[in-house]
Structure formats: structure tokens, C-alpha cells
Amino acid sequence: MHRERYMGVSVERVLREVLRRELSDDPEALRLAEEILQAYVTGGRRGVKQLVEAMLEGEPRAGAAEEGGD
């Protein structure tokens, strides 16, 4: 199945690095930023909305930690 990307691979890499730098003193916000970034890359605006809705519902967020190590 073709899966659309909502952000270029190179930009994603750069953005990850910038975010790590910017949020180095706030690991919780950094984890959230990485989750949002991942959701956006794979699902775009809708992906982020779904992620935040799930967070509002208090659903467990699986996979956030693993994705942080890219």
C-alpha cells in the first residue's frame, strides 16, 4: 500500500535535530514533539489531530520512546 508522506525525509531529520536541541531541558515536551512529528509525517494534520484526541481521551501512547531514537 502506498503511504503518503507529509514531510520530506530530510526535513524530518533536520527538524528532529532542532527539536532535540530546542527542548533538551524539557524531556516531556520533547517526547510529545517527537510524537507529533511522527504523527504528522505519516498522517499529516489529521494524524496530529488523532494523536491529540487520543491524548485527550487519555489513551496510552505506544511507541513514543522508540521513535525518539531516530
Partner 1 sequence: MPVLLKRVEIEGFRYFAQKVSLELDQGLTVIAGPVGSGKSSLLSAVSYALYGMEPGLRRRFYAKSDLINARRDKARIEVVLKHGDSVLSIVREISREHKEYAKLVLPDGRVVRGSGAVREYVESLLGLDFEEFYRTVHLSFATLLLLAYGTPEARSRVLDRLLGLDSVAGLVKSIPVRRVESELEKLRGLLSAAEENLRKLELQYESTSKELARLRSQRDELLGKLSAIKVELEKLEGAKNEFEKLQASIAEVSQILQKLKQKIGKGGFDEYTLASLADDLKHRLLRAAELLPVPASVKEKLEKVDPASMNLKRVYEALKEAHSAIVDEFDRGLREVEAGKAVEVNECELRLKQVEEMLVNLEVQVREFEDLSERRERILSEVGSEDKLRSEISKLEREYERLKELVLEGRAAGILRRRIVEELRLRGETRCPVCGSELDKSSVEKLEPRIRESAAEQESELRSKEEKIQRLKRVLSELQEIKARLIELEEPVSRYEELESLREKLSKECEEVREELERARQEYKAIEFQLSRAGNLLLQLREGVEKLDAAREIESLEKTLEDKRLQLEQLLPQKRRYDELERQFRDLREQLRGIEAKIEALESMPLKQQLEEAEREYRELSENLKRVENLRKNLLAVRKAMLRALADLREERVRKISDTMNLLLKSIYPYSDIEEVKLEVEEVRGLRSTFKVAVKVGGEWTTFTARLSDGQKTVVILALLTSIFKLLPHNVGFMLLDEPLPNVDERVKLTYMQNIFKTAGVDQVVITTQAERLAEALPEARVVRTMELVSSAGQTP
Task: Provide the binding-site residues for partner 1, judged by CB under 8 A.
Answer: 1-3, 5-15, 18-19, 22-23, 26, 28-29, 32-33, 36-37, 40, 44-45, 47-49, 52-53, 55-56, 58
- Supply 63's cell numbers: 511507541
Q: How many other C-beta atoms are found inside a 10 Å radius of the C-beta of residue 28?
A: 8
Judged on CB neighbours under 10 Å (0-12, 13-18, 19+), 41 is buried
Q: How far is the CB of 19 from partner 1 (least distance, A)?
A: 6
Q: How far is the CB of 49 from partner 1 (least distance, A)?
A: 6
Q: How far is the CB of 68 from partner 1 (least distance, A)?
A: 13
- Supply 47's cell numbers: 494524524
